[in-house]
Amino acid sequence: MRDVWIDVGKQQEIPEIGECRCVKRNDLIEVLADALPPRTVRFGSQIVSVKVDKENSFPTLQLYGDKSIQAKVLIGCDGSRSTVADFLGLKSTKMFAILSVRGLTSYPNGHAFDCESTRMRREKISVGRAPITDKLVYWFVALPWTPSDERLTQDPEVIKRLASSKVSGFSSDVIEMIERAELDSVSLTRLRHRAPWDLPTDDIQEGDGDSGWRCNACNGSIPRTRWFSSSRRCRCPRQVLGTESKS
């Protein structure tokens, strides 16, 4: 990883331990799903709420589309806006005064960037770049949040123009990277954080639930997928951990 301060003409290389890669979330999810038994992963099932069944004390997940899943064990890896964390009664996430524009840029003929994560800073704007392949690059633009940004736009064209206007003082390859971004990959969000030490001090709700300390979404699902995948390879009888019903 490399940090670059454009204002003062300084850069610093941060040594890495082991290997670090940038991957597309969809590709990661598909690889994880392929390692599990059929119908283990359900795509596009957003949780609306979690309630405890009064008869058996098991958590019931209410999904969009009037469907529900009753689970014997519920593990929350659903991000910073975690419905499972709300169910457990964890403290709310803390909002940073930072907005982040993120996106992907495709280079059909290949790009010339080094295979490393780079973070460039100029005044109060930060630009990050990490190649995924020799033809695809992930990037972000971090900028200060103001009260006028309370209602964030979700229009990718507007978001892209915002990012382009903030990188005008950066190098031409950064400007081009933003301008060539794939619209369906562009997003804008305000950064938030849940401190890991908030969990042990909380009076969490009793029940068959668990949530990652940082609500780290995909990160926490990887070791669990490895465990389930290894269980699949053994010749143990499979047990149904949940049942689905339509309300």
**Same structural domain for residues 152 and 189?**
yes
**Same structural domain for residues 62 and 150?**
no
* Three-class DSSP category at 141: strand
Q: Does the pLDDT at position 97 exceed 70?
A: yes
**Same structural domain for residues 172 and 204?**
no
pLDDT per position as a tens digit, 38-71: 877 777 778 888 988 888 888 888 888 888 888 8
Tokens of 55: 């008869």
**Same structural domain for residues 136 and 227?**
no
**Same structural domain for residues 54 and 103?**
no
What's the structural domain count of the chain?
2
CA proximity to 144, closest of 191, 105, 198? 191
In whole angstroms, give the CA distance from residue 152 to residue 16: 35
pLDDT per position as a tens digit, 225-244: 565 556 554 443 333 334 44
Quickly list H helices, 45-128: 83-88
What Cα–Cα distance (Å) separates residue 222 from each residue in 71, 79, 216, 218, 225? 20, 14, 11, 7, 5
Residue 126 — pLDDT band, cuts 50, 70, 90? very high
Residue 109 lies in a domain: yes
**Same structural domain for residues 7 and 40?**
no
Question: According to the model, what pLDDT value does residue 90 have?
Answer: 78
Residue 216 lies in a domain: yes
Question: According to the model, what pLDDT value does residue 215 have?
Answer: 39
Residue 131 lies in a domain: yes
**Same structural domain for residues 55 and 160?**
no
Chain centroid offset of residue 188 CA: 13
**Same structural domain for residues 78 and 159?**
no
The domain in which residue 80 lies consists of: 35-92+196-246
Residue 30 lies in a domain: no
**Same structural domain for residues 128 and 165?**
yes
What Cα–Cα distance (Å) separates residue 42 from each residue in 58, 63, 81, 105? 20, 11, 19, 28
In whole angstroms, give the CA distance from residue 8 to residue 121: 10
**Same structural domain for residues 105 and 187?**
yes
Q: Does the pLDDT at position 119 exceed 90?
A: yes
> CATH code at 145?
3.30.9.30
Tokens of 27: 């590709």
> Which segment, 47-51, 74-78, 219-223, is predicted with the most confidence on average?
47-51
Residue 28 lies in a domain: no
Mean predicted confidence (pLDDT) in 155-183? 94
Residue 73 — pLDDT band, cuts 50, 70, 90? confident
Mean pLDDT of the chain: 79
Element of type H or E holding 125: strand 125-131
What are the DSSP calls for 30-66, one per residue? HHHHHTS-TTS--TT--EEEEEE-TTT--EEEEETTT
**Same structural domain for residues 8 and 45?**
no
Residue 29 lies in a domain: no
Q: Does the pLDDT at position 85 exceed 70?
A: yes
Please tell me what DSSP assigns to residue 108. Answer: T
Residue 138 lies in a domain: yes
**Same structural domain for residues 109 and 144?**
yes
> Which segment, 17-21, 191-195, 221-225, is predicted with the most confidence on average?
191-195
CA angle 137, 141, 147 (to 5 degrees): 155
